[in-house]
Amino acid sequence: MANTCKQDKGNIGIETHNQLIWPFANAPADFYALRGMMKKAIVIGASSGIGRELSKILFRNQYAVGIMARRIDLLLELRNEMSNDVLAEKIDVSETDSAKEILTNFIKKMDGVDLLVICAGTGHLNEELDWTLENETIITNVTGFAAIANVAVKHFIKNGSGHLVGISSIAALRGGRESPAYNASKAFESNYLEGLRQKVVKLGLPITITDIKPGFVKTAMAQGDGIFWAADADKAAKKIFNAIKRRKSSAYITRRWRLVAWLIKLLPGFVYERL
């Protein structure tokens, strides 16, 4: 049965449904019909941290999921935790030309996408202002982010609907001496998403653009001594999923970070620069 399905549905990359869980485990005959009705989501930066947890939540909520990042071994591990139906593909968003092409082909492989989440991002504590680190951050979080968002939004405009989610940061709100490129790159992401939102609203299309601004989340990315109110990655992912379901324009993760955001924005420059 699995082999037959593979031949019949090779175009959507299904290899087997052996590992399928509810609601399909006992209803293989209906699977492909139902799969056509499932919402499709791609998570870029799914190999660890927030993206990994969010991918699992989307899968549990009956999305057909595609996962992307550079560390393909981790993606395959994650796929094993979910199902062989999950498509996994290597992408390096900092290689913008090839990344755009890889994503475009991946969307075709998935026969379209309804929700695309950009979790891919990098950042370093960079007291020495090492240019290699600053540059890597800018190429990944600015050029890479914009390239991916560009492919996604054009796909949604062509299709007439869709949902793009970017994970910026509370760091987007002000500059940061420990990693100037990181804060600036997150400000770019937030601003870029706002521009795209204004564009799709003007077009009158039912396309949602969500800017997620986490505070601290316990992942490899959260570095340094001054970490507080750090949420577990799975908790952060649950909150992000809620924001996705509610089609919010922006959300602080967790909600208490709204208070920090309010304070940060309020501080006059001459106070902020001395912190």
Ligand X SMILES: NC(=O)c1ccc[n+]([C@@H]2O[C@H](COP(=O)([O-])OP(=O)(O)OC[C@H]3O[C@@H](n4cnc5c(N)ncnc54)[C@H](OP(=O)(O)O)[C@@H]3O)[C@@H](O)[C@H]2O)c1
CB 217 within 8 A of CB 231: yes
Q: Per rule CB under 6 A, is residue 254 in the interface with ligand X?
A: no
With binding defined as CB under 6 A, does residue 47 bind ligand X? yes
Stretch that binds ligand X, among 7-15, 121-129, 155-163, 196-204 (CB under 6 A): 121-129
Please report whether residue 88 would count as binding ligand X according to CB under 6 A: no
Pairing type for strands 64-69 and 40-44 reads parallel
Nearer to ligand X, 64 or 138 (CB): 138
Nearer to ligand X, 64 or 240 (CB): 240
For residues 257 and 236, the answer to whether their CB atoms sit within 8 Å is: no
Give the C-alpha separation, 191 to 244, whole Å: 19
Q: Does 116 bind ligand X (CB under 6 A)?
A: no
- CA 160 to chain centroid, in Å, comes to 21
Rg (CA), the chain: 19
Non-local (6+) Cβ contacts of 122 within 8 A are 136, 137, 140, 141, 221
- Which range, of 29-37, 59-67, 106-114, 119-127, touches ligand X by CB under 6 A? 119-127
For position 93 contacting ligand X by CB under 6 A, the verdict is yes
Nearer to ligand X, 50 or 153 (CB): 50
Phi, then psi, of 24 in degrees rounded to 5:
-100, -15
Q: Give the residue numbers marked as catalytic.
A: 182
> Do 90 and 69 contact (CB within 8 A), yes or no?
yes
Min separation Cβ 28 and ligand X, Å: 32
Q: How far apart are CA 69 and CA 6, in angstroms?
A: 25
Build a one-symbol-per-residue string for 48-87: x at contacts with ligand X by CB under 6 A, - elsewhere.
Answer: xxxx-----------------xxx--x-------------
Q: Order of strands, edge to edge, in the sheet holding 115-118? A: 87-90, 64-69, 40-44, 115-118, 162-167, 207-214, 250-253
Using CB under 6 A, which residues numbered 130 to 189 contact ligand X? 140, 144, 167, 169
Closest listed residue to residue 193, CA positions, set 142, 269, 240, 235: 142
Between 29 and 220, name the residue whose CB sits nearer to ligand X: 220
For residues 189 to 218, the per-residue mask of contacts with ligand X, x marking binding by CB under 6 A and - elsewhere, is -------------------------x-xx-
The site for ligand X (CB under 6 A) is made up of 45-51, 69-71, 74, 91-94, 119-123, 140, 144, 167, 169, 214, 216-217, 219-222
